[in-house]
A and B are shown apart, each in its own frame.
Chain A
Amino acid sequence: MNHMTEEQLIAYREGIAEQRAAISDHLAACEECRAEMERIEAVLSALDTLPVPDPGADYGRHVWQQIGPRLPEKRGRWWQMWMAPRRLVALAAVAALIIAAFLAGRMSRRDHGVDNIASREQVRERVLIVAVGEHLGHSERMLVELSNAGPSDPAQKQVNISAEQRRAEDLLEENRMYRQTALQEGDAGLANVLDDLERVLLDVAHSPSEVTPKQLEAIRQKIEARGILFEVRVVGKELQQRQEASQPAPAQNDSAKKERNKV
């Protein structure tokens, strides 16, 4: 019987052998080759016990903090810039509000019924609810991440928050648009919350990109003192509930709006 070569056995063990079935049959029948295979296996199994240190659950975040500020801005093509999902959501919401107002206006000219006016308000408000709900979700995530940021090494004197800053800048742009729309829609409560959020986003966007743990703590305390995370969560939840309700009664909408307007 011709025995297997070491090369064939290693290739079999490492899953790169071409004649796998033939080697397998041979091993089943040949004790000598089986013993050789066991010796190879023993070395490889011993190597498998070599540990790899666990870099930690938040390692990806740590890597991003290190490289994020070093990444140059990618200038997308002009149409890609406008097609960026975040910008698209804000633009689509505003466009939908204009279209809804236009269509509802045409319908109400044909028929001045109260139902049509109510329906126009419902459509416009639903568009605002969806877009602002998403915006508040993004803002909440950024603020939570900023609150949890900290030096990965206790000896580290500076914490890089430039990634959070850039997100705050983007959110600020959207926030202004939604706040103005909420004011035009007469939703003063929502406009107030968005106004509070805007101040926090401004603070974050204008902070230095590298802060000391003490400065970071001061930013955290400002966020906490304004209670903005709580406000954002409450309004976000309320918007979500309203979005989930398939046909919200106009009276309920009004009461929710009035309730928020007390804020």
Chain B
Amino acid sequence: MNRMQQSIENAQAIATSDALAVERTLAGERDAFRVLVERHSQNVFRLAYRMTGNRQDAEEVVQEAFLRAYQKLGQFEARANFGTWVYRIAANYAIDRMRQRQKEDARREPPRAEGVEDDPMNRVADDAPTPERLTQSLELRKQMEQALAALSHAERTAFVMRHWEGCGIEEIAVVLKSNSGAAKNTVFRAVQKLRLALEPMVGTKIQARAMGTES
């Protein structure tokens, strides 16, 4: 038996077992839902972390996704895949959480003192990395996190779901409440923005590696 066939069979076995757990939960056996929570929590956490960019929000998304899934379990179609379904719920809630977080951050941000923003010396002090403060890879990581944070919620969702989680375009379109064409365009825009923000830095690294001068 080849590996692909084995993995398809494993996926089918999990889907069958999930369907049984859903059925038992709907019959009033609350503990049957535990199987679903324990089986899918890690995957949902990974998606949530990549979407929200921080552990605290990711954990909140995971819990809320399963609470919502439990409440809406009656709407779950028996032939659907529970893993995909709970993923979709988590992605939707992660978008809500990102919006909420943005508002909270905007409220919390202290007003800037006049003239400070326009002082080029301040920008240099904040932006220019020095070897003493940060290693190059740490700086690249920071830049990547910033580039991801600068994407719109829809772009980040589309990119995470497609690039990292391998979700289908139809699936992404459902979460974004749009159509396949628009979902594809959102993935494209996300990659284009990430490229614009990161290529100068990644390019420098590649060049340095080629010249053997990378630290």
Q: Which residues of A contact B (CB under 8 A)?
A: 6-7, 10-11, 13-14, 16, 39-40, 42-44, 46-47, 49-50, 52-53, 55, 59-61, 63-64, 66-68, 70-77, 80-81, 83-86, 163, 166-167, 170
Contact = CB atoms under 8 A, between A and B. Distances in A.
A86 B25 CA distance: 12
Q: Dominant SS at the B interface?
A: helix
B162 interface: yes
Contacts, number: 126
Given A42-B199, A67-B66, A74-B28, 18 more contacts: A10-B192, A11-B187, A14-B187, A40-B195, A43-B202, A44-B163, A44-B194, A52-B50, A60-B40, A63-B37, A64-B34, A64-B37, A68-B34, A70-B67, A80-B26, A81-B27, A84-B27, A84-B28
Interface in B132-178: 140-141, 144-145, 148, 162-163, 169
B46 A52 contact: yes
A46 to B, nearest CB: 5
A81 B46 CA distance: 35
B29 interface: yes
B39 interface: yes
B31 A166 contact: yes
B63 interface: yes
Interface in B15-67: 24-31, 33-34, 37-42, 45-46, 49-50, 55, 59, 62-63, 66-67
Interface residues of B, number: 50
A92 B143 CA distance: 63
Interface string B122-135: 00000000000000
A88 to B, nearest CB: 10
B198 A67 contact: no
B98 interface: no
A46 B34 contact: no
A42 B203 contact: yes
Contacts of A61: 38
Best-surrounded residue of B34, B38, B205 (most CB of chain A within 10 A): B34
17 contacts: A42-B202, A46-B140, A47-B144, A47-B163, A53-B55, A55-B45, A55-B59, A63-B38, A63-B62, A67-B37, A70-B67, A71-B70, A74-B25, A77-B27, A81-B28, A84-B28, A166-B30
